[in-house]
Copies of this chain bind each other. A is one copy, B any other.
Amino acid sequence: MALEHALLVSLSERPASGLELTRRFDASIGYFWTASHQQIYRVLGRMETDGWVTCTVVAQQGRPAKKVYEVADPGRAELERWLAAPTAPDPLRSEVMVKFRGASYGDRAAVLDQARERLADHRTRLAHYDRLAERDFPEPAGLRGRELDLYLVLRGGQRLEHFWIDWLTEYLTAHEENR
């Protein structure tokens, strides 16, 4: 129900084509929303039909033409409406947690291996976010408005990776001690 709104936010920051949006969702926006290119194209089409965005075909040299979308007035109005509406708690669905809870019904060693893989993965991501923070916000103290928002959401990404790293470490330590 909110991919529309994630796209509206991203297009408000800067107009983009479908593929450019896909890359944003793979990179920076990916730490709080994931979406495949198929889904993005479909939703963009619907948003254009609804008049939330307008589309301009832009020719490129050395590349196929692309369709650049930008937010139109009805889209801006919808974004404002949604931002002011109450937010439901983010529903959580963690396959990892289910596996950990059920580990005793299968091969525990295999589950521990997966924990180690998740841990390595989250460390990689945290390192990536740390690089982004250093590059884009070397001095966070004076930030305000939109810049502060971007910084704080990146902080959320960092904190979330810390959560995973700390918890997976606790999990592995507890089980390694009990071998």
Contact = CB atoms under 8 A, between A and B. Distances in A.
Contact of A101 (B93, B99, B150): B150
Interface residues of A, number: 66
A100 B11 CA distance: 15
Given A100-B156, A144-B178, A150-B101, A106 B84 contact: yes
A163 B153 contact: no
A49 interface: no
Contacts of A107: 80, 83-84
What is the interface of chain A mostly: helix, strand, loop, or mixed?
helix
B87 A102 contact: no
A87 B99 contact: yes
Interface stretch (A29-37, A53-61, A131-139): A29-37
Interface of A: 2, 5-6, 8-9, 12, 29, 31-34, 76, 79-80, 82-84, 86-107, 110-111, 114, 117-118, 121, 144-146, 148-150, 152-153, 155-156, 159-160, 162-163, 166-167, 170-171, 174-175, 178
